[in-house]
């Protein structure tokens, strides 16, 4: 009995030490975040107020430095402005979430595959606010959306130096225990304008040159819909004269706004919103909106949102986050985790509509919130937290290897650029033969769920505290 009491006392003392130590570390800025499993904690030291102050100090220093730069002679300024305007009109190398084709592939330049031991050359690094949005690149600027104190902020940075050019914020603070704080949806660029969606449904159109607000609305209010668990996450789709979003709801689950005025053009469909982004694709000769909602994938007419086809796809919690993967003009691959897997759908013309048939469904690839890429008949993506290669036509797994957590990946020059959940950048050869990791380096510190971007030979990475650019062109 005495021995048992001694053991209980020791256990009690250890608990007091551990708990006390935890709260002491919290007082010094210990941050506890959850990994993509929802069970594994990630520990970093981070004080939000100090971080916001650091961002504000960095921006103030940039403004001061800009103010004291030498004046350009008037004749040179006119020439420079004209050249800049001309370049801006044609330069949008990464205008949408996951690139120009929205498929996670980069082909603007070859990439370097002989990475130095210390990693790719760093071009710049800057502090940013929270959230899980990716970045887009247009007009020589990098655009993203961040959480800064009690505001969601769209910010523009120079691509060559990472200096902030402008910011536009509105009151909004979305917080969720497992995922964390901040906006999720990546902005979109079109014809000199930025379309940004906040986590609570605020949709704004801003002038890309200076952030001037052009119009705003709230897509949840317009649809009479409630927000979903992890917030509005789908990047706005700009197609023709429309901006398409997925607020969810009854009869108004998918909405299209006039991209110049912000007026509602059409609202259609019913059901819960998904976390994936609307896309545009030509399937069976019909150009259409491709959307993975909370319960299904569907094809919609662009002009009026009428339904062309649909296929049910429900997970345990109605969570669909990964982008549908267009294989060719009659095949689409879809994948989700949460007790599901992947399936290849075949589409065919059927009168005025489109018929859809499932060719295979297997659990060989389970994308949680990490979209896959396609290269030479092989799909590459994270099966939960481990990289895998799957034959697109059979669903059979080629290989599985590389524990990268719930990171993100892009395809470039026959290689996979993987940004891991812990901020490492990894180079993997895109081959169905085997998992071949070629190089890696630590690019960011802390939990990293943001999808990377690539433009003009630069690899752009960010998380909730910092953003950096690395030279990846040869």
pLDDT truncated to tens, each residue of the chain (474 aa)? 666 666 667 555 565 444 554 445 444 555 566 666 665 666 566 688 899 899 988 999 988 887 766 544 544 444 444 444 444 445 899 999 999 999 999 999 999 999 999 999 999 999 999 999 999 999 999 999 999 999 999 999 999 999 999 999 999 999 998 888 999 999 999 999 999 999 999 999 999 999 999 999 999 999 999 999 999 999 999 999 999 999 999 999 999 999 999 999 999 999 999 999 999 999 999 999 999 999 999 999 999 999 999 999 999 888 999 999 999 999 999 999 998 999 999 999 999 899 999 999 999 999 999 999 999 999 999 999 999 999 999 999 999 999 999 999 999 999 999 999 999 999 999 999 999 999 999 999 999 999 999 999 999 999 999 999 999 999
pLDDT of residue 21: 46
Q: CA–CA separation, 231 vs 283, rounded Å?
A: 30
Q: Check residue 88 and give its pLDDT.
A: 45
Residue 373 three-state SS: strand
Its pTM surpasses 0.75 = yes
N-terminal to C-terminal alpha carbon distance within the chain: 72
Q: Which residues contact 98 (CB under 8 A, 6 or more apart)?
A: 104, 134, 323, 371, 410, 451
Burial code of 179-196, b = ≥16 C-beta within 10 A, e = fewer? Answer: bbbbbbbbbbbbeebbbb
DSSP string, 376-419: TTEEEEEETTEEEEEETTT--EEEEEEE--S-EEEEETTEEEEE
Pairing label, strands 397-403, 41-45: unpaired
Q: Residue 302 pairs with which residues in a beta bridge? A: none
Most distant CA atoms of the chain, gap in Å: 93
- Residue 407 pLDDT: 96
Task: State whether residue 102 is helix, strand or coil.
Answer: coil
CA–CA distance, 152 with 146 (Å, rounded to integer): 6
The Cα 383–Cα 358 span in angstroms is 20
Q: For the chain, how many residues are written?
A: 474
**Residues whose CB falls within 8 Å of the CB of residue 129, separated by 6 or more in sequence, listed in order:** 52, 55, 146, 147, 148, 153, 182, 464
What is the spatial distance between Cα 357 and Cα 311, in angstroms, rounded to a whole number? 9
Q: How far apart are CA 244 and CA 258, in angstroms?
A: 9
């Amino acid at each position: 009995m005495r021995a048992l009491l001694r053991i209980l006392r020791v256990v009690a003392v250890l608990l007091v030490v551990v708990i006390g130590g935890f709260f002491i570390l919290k007082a010094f800025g210990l941050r506890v975040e959850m990994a993509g499993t929802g069970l594994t904690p990630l520990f970093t030291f981070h004080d939000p107020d100090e971080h916001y102050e650091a961002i504000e100090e960095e921006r103030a220093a940039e403004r001061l430095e800009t103010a004291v730069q030498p004046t350009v002679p008037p004749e040179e300024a006119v020439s420079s402005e004209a050249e800049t305007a001309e370049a801006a009109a044609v330069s949008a190398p990464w205008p949408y979430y996951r690139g120009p084709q929205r498929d996670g592939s980069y082909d603007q330049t070859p990439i370097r595959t002989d990475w130095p031991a210390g990693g790719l050359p760093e071009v710049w690094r800057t502090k940013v606010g929270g959230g899980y949005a990716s970045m887009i690149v247009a007009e020589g600027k990098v655009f993203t959306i961040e959480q800064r104190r009690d505001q969601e902020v769209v910010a523009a940075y120079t691509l060559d130096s990472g200096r902030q050019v402008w910011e536009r914020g509105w009151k909004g603070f979305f917080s969720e225990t497992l995922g964390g704080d901040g906006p999720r949806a990546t902005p979109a660029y079109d014809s000199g304008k930025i379309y940004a969606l906040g986590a609570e449904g605020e949709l704004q159109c801003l002038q890309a040159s200076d952030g001037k607000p052009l119009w705003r609305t709230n897509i949840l209010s317009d649809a009479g819909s409630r927000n979903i668990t992890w917030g509005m996450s789908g990047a706005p789709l700009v197609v023709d004269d429309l901006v398409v979003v997925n607020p969810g709801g009854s009869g108004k689950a998918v909405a299209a706004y006039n991209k110049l005025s912000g007026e509602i053009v059409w609202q259609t469909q019913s059901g819960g919103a998904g976390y994936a982004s609307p896309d545009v694709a030509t399937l069976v000769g019909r150009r259409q909106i491709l959307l993975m909602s909370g319960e299904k994938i569907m094809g919609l007419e662009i002009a009026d949102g009428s339904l062309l086809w649909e296929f049910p796809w429900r997970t345990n919690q109605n969570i669909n986050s990964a982008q549908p993967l267009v294989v060719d003009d009659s095949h689409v691959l879809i994948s989700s985790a949460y007790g599901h897997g992947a399936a290849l759908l075949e589409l065919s013309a059927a009168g005025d509509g489109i018929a859809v048939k499932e060719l295979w469904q297997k659990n060989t690839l389970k994308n949680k919130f990490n979209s896959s890429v396609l290269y030479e008949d092989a799909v590459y993506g994270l099966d939960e937290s481990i990289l895998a290669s799957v034959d697109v036509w059979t669903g059979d797994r080629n290989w599985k290897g590389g524990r990268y957590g719930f990171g993100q990946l892009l395809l470039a020059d026959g290689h996979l650029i993987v940004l891991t959940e812990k901020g490492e950048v990894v180079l993997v050869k895109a081959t169905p033969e085997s998992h071949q990791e070629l190089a890696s380096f630590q690019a960011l510190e802390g939990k990293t769920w943001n999808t990377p971007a690539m433009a003009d030979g630069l690899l752009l990475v960010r998380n909730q505290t910092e953003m950096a650019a690395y030279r990846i062109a040869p």
